[in-house]
Structure 1
Amino acid sequence: MRGVALLIPLAVAGCTLPGKRVAAPDSAAVAPPPAWRTATGATAPIAVDWWQGFGDPQLTALVERALANNVDIQAAAARVEEARAAEALSRAQLLPQIGGTVPETQGQTLSPFGTPSRAIGAQPTLSLSYDLDLFGRLRLASRAARAQLLATQAAQDSVRLATAAAAASGYVTLRALDQRLAIARDTLTARANALRIARRRFETGYTSRLEYRQAQAEYAATQQLVPAAELAITRQEDALSLLTGDAPRAIARGRPLARIARPAIPDGLPADLLRRRPDLYQAEQTLVASDLSLDSQRAAMLPNLSLTGSAGVVLSTALANPVGIFTIGASILSPLFDGGRLRAQERAATARRDQAAFAYRRTALTAFREVDDALAGVRRTGEQADALDAQAAAARGALENASNRYRAGYSAYIEQLDAQRNLLTAELSLVQAEADRLTSYVALYQAMGGGWSPAEVSAMRR
């Protein structure tokens, strides 16, 4: 093969993925990990219960329904069947091809006395052809088809994993929207009480029209948050219904956002856990298939030897006994001049192999980036949520003090209005931060290829 074989170590948190040397262009290198099909590799089914770590039975039911009914998963299964049929067809090319014919003939014969007579005959024959495949062209093509089948199966696993993650994160978003709606309604009730007090104080002449107008404006500003949240909830329910393969419908709720559990993350997750990622295995098998296709295309430029034979019997009313016939022969086919077609096909196969190598390298780097982003997201959104929780608690205290001062006549309405606005902003930001933290957990599960178990972590560390 052209190019130079290099080994590029890819590491996360001090862990590296070892790899075998794979020929690649001089400008890039790829190091696919060996032995992916191990107990903890791509053949091991993706952990089907990682979403149960959130402790919400409705979230679990939603994810399982999506995995059962999602149309993208069903389409991926159909693509797997197509690849399986293509692999079976390539294996069939390695076997002898046997056929048979039974032609019927009619004719006239002349007797020694010159009397014509009609003869009816048949010649059933069996024919056999077999490509010796001296240079492995067909064997390489069969192996390439097998690798492509494995890549297609891994693509189906990728769709399943993405569907489960989308259902889980979509449910978290829905519960966050429910919380926003509850906050908007509670705030609207408080604004209504403030508006009633402002109206009474204005009508008795205790305050100016300005405070009354400010209370009206603030009530209307809060009022529009309710239909906006309800619209977002409807759209989110419709999106989840599509994900589960259903018509638009209401989605059952379980735990509120604040009570959804946050799974524990072990310290120092091994980088070998990334081997369970189906997109990495898909990229590797695509590279293997393109490499084998390149070798098969090169073998097509060499001479090819085929054996052919046929055997049969002649049955006729003009013959006293049947006559057996057979033929056997061999043919050598070698390209002498094809206008550069085979050479152009070989260059195209080389380019496809190089593209697959670059794609594998990018997929591996993307996997490490997604894990690092998800770990950082879990940590930083947790810190942000803790800070916003403290801010919301302080804003509630400030609103209580401002309301008491306003009712006692020690401060203007603008102080209470500012405190209400600060509390609303802090509560909405806290809901968003809690939702972001939970979706970061989902993203980490997806980035690690479907979660982990304590046994897997300890085994890989050993």
Structure 2
Amino acid sequence: MIGAAGILLAACAVGPDYHSPAPPAGDRVTPQPLPARTVATPGMAGDAGAAQRFVAAEAIPGDWWSLFRSAPLDALIRDALANSPNLDAARAALRQARENYRATAGGKLLPGVDGQLGAQRSRVSGLSFGVPGASEEFTLYNASVNVSYTLDLFGGTRRELEGLRARIDYQQYQWQAAYLALTANLVTAAVREASLRAQIDATLQIAADQQQQLDLLERQFALGGVNQAAVLAQRTTLAQTRATLPPLRQALEQTRHQLAVLAGRPPSDDTLPRFALADFSLPRDLPASLPSELVRQRPDILAADALLHQASANVGVATAALYPKLTLTGSYGAEALTPAGLFRSANTVWSLGAGVLQPLFHGGQLSAQRRAAQAAFEQADAQYRQTVLLAFQNVADTLRALDNDAHALAAQADAAAAAQASLELSRQQYRLGAVSYLTLLDAQRQYQQTVLSLVQAQAARYADTAALYQAVGGGWWNARQDPDVRPPATVPAPEAAPEVAPEAAQLATPRATAAGSAPATAAAISARSAGPAVETRQ
């Protein structure tokens, strides 16, 4: 009877009923429509020059990195997922959030029942009864079961549990964000290593060619065919080329150390696979998610949404604190002067009680706490909207980068071909005495620059492709879940997409460029998500 009454009384929960913000309108994240496909660059080693298509409804596999068709990369990522301390920390944080929810649910939704057994030795003065000089010593034994239950009349407990459930969702998406960041960082680091190795190989080949040219000039100088200035100029050019090798090798070693740490190994581990650009295949179909899909796909947006939900629930908790609290208590047991007397029915004691606590005056504390909770909700709403904007900026930047990467590779391929032809022509003309040695040196420098730039342009296509898969969420909703991470009930079907939040992990990662890495930039987008309405019902 009491339980049924409690359920009826608890049917009303004060505070806002949370609804996720509506996704931004629009059918694209860039100001101008994307081309159907990127330009192709024939003649590139492997498929680095292949054209890529932008597909709006492209399904994203959970193991998106497998699209690069690199068995060593697949093995490294599987190993990293099993050994990453970051993922272990995220799993532990998720388990902690779940246990905090269970502790609160068990302690506040159900009555508290305690057993008590005690003995007390006392001496009573007769003065307490108006009998001077009299006193009595005795031992009182007691055994009882005490029950207490606070009815959730205005939903404060349920709002608190709602906030704890939102915290579980937040930690879930934090795990997904850590998972996505780890896999994306591994791919981009592997591409960076391949780029650096190619640049080192190209520099060594250029240095070898320059050494042959220097040997030829020295023989000609010995025969009086050239002056010493030409020999010194060639020696300078060769030394400058060799001087670029230590920074490249340093960047390569740093990238290897990063790969080891990402894989959960010490930097001294030398068992990691070695990557070359030829190890990767360029995915031909690229996902171009709609704005409405992005807010359901990116873990950082979903995490921000969970934090906003938690802030909304906290408003309800603070509101319920202004209302009365009804507590029911009861006890049943026995009191006796001997242990055996506890089992006699005549010594049975019991009590039933009910109490109402209505806050009357707390110096404005409770009202201030509610206003603070409302302000925290507004802050979380603003952070959510900012997270959405930054996420869209990240996607827009990456989509445009992929299109520009294809054009850049085509231009660098033309430049490299022209520089090689110019170098060969300058060599022939120099042998015939038609041009000065300065003209040949200039052709050598141009050729060296174009060769290295061509390697970097090829690597940029792989790195930015990985960045796009990360930017659109990485297909985590299609992935086989970690044993400690359950798919949330709100996860869309494989055709749909996920969401993100403010305190969430940052998704922007560096991409491979030149001798090292450069941070990916992002383009702003004006889409704004409508904030959830806050309604107090009772």
Change (3 A) 1:6 1:235: closer
Residue aligned with 1:276, SS: coil
1:50 to 61, 64, 68: 64
Q: CA deviation at 1:56?
A: 1.2
Q: Give deviations 1:120-152, integer Å, cap 9, x for gaps.
A: 652111111100111111111011111111111
Query: Cα deviation per residue 1:50-103 (whole Å; 9 max; x = unaligned)?
Result: 001011112222222222222222221221122112211221211111111111
- One-letter code of the match for 1:73? L
Are the aligned partners of 2:166 and 2:307 in contact in 1 as well (CA < 8 Å)? yes
Would you say the 8 A contact 2:24–2:291 is kept in 1?
A: no
**Structure 2 residue 191 is the aligned partner of structure 1 residue 172:** yes
2:109 to 88, 94, 97: 94
How far, CA to CA, are the matches of 1:453 and 1:256 in structure 2?
Answer: 31
Q: Distance in 1 between matches of 2:210 and 2:326?
A: 90
Indicate the residue corresponding to 1:302 in structure 2.
Answer: 323
CA RMSD of aligned residues (A): 2.9
The number of aligned residues is 423
The match for 2:516 is: none
Using structure 1 for the length normalisation, give the TM-score: 0.84
Describe the SS at the equivalent of 1:440: helix
Gaps of 5+ in 2: 1-14, 30-59, 125-134, 479-491, 498-538
Counterpart secondary structure, 2:285: coil
Is the 8 Å Cα contact of residues 149 and 328 (structure 2) preserved in structure 1? Answer: yes
**C-alpha spacing 1:8/1:314, structure 2 compared with 1 (3 Å):** closer
Which stretch of structure 1 is more off in the superposition, 76-85 or 156-165? Answer: 76-85
**Alignment equivalent of 1:150, drawn from 157, 169, 175:** 169
Q: Quick one: percent identity of the two aligned structures?
A: 31
Aligned with residue 414 of structure 2, among 354, 379, 390: 390
Comparing 404-413 with 385-394, greater Cα deviation is found at 404-413
SS at match of 1:410: coil
* 2:400 paired with 1:376: yes
For 1:336, the equivalent position in structure 2 comes to 360
Q: Name the SS for the 2:333 alignment partner.
A: strand
Q: Does residue 199 of the first structure (1) align with residue 218 of the second (2)?
A: yes
The one of the two structures with greater contact order (alpha-carbon pairs below 8 A, sep at least 6) is 2
Q: Is the 8 A contact 1:10 1:365 kept in 2?
A: no
Q: Retained in 2: the 8 A contact 1:130–1:307?
A: yes
Q: Secondary structure at the match of 1:329?
A: strand
Distance (whole Å) between structure 1 residues aligned to residue 413 and residue 271 of structure 2: 28
Change (3 A) 1:398 1:453: farther
Amino acid at match of 1:260: F
Judging changes above 3 Å, is the alpha-carbon distance between structure 1 residues 141 and 459 closer, same or farther for their aligned structure 2 residues? closer
Unpaired segments ≥5 residues, structure 1: 16-45, 110-115
Paired amino acid for 2:344:
N
The alpha carbon displacement at 1:357 in A equals 0.5
Q: Which residue of 2 aligns with 1:18?
A: none
Range that drifts further, 118-127 or 195-204: 118-127
Q: Does residue 153 of structure 2 align to residue 134 of structure 1?
A: yes
Shift of 1:161: 0.5
Are 1:74 and 2:104 an aligned pair? no
Aligned mates of 1:452, 1:420 — CA distance in 2: 48
Instruction: Check whether the contact 2:174–2:300 (CA below 8 A) recurs between aligned residues.
Output: yes
Give the CA deviation at 1:410: 3.0
Q: SS of the residue aligned with 1:310? A: strand
Change (3 A) 1:12 1:58: farther
Report the secondary structure of 1:263's partner residue. Answer: coil
DSSP-derived class of the 1:102 partner = strand
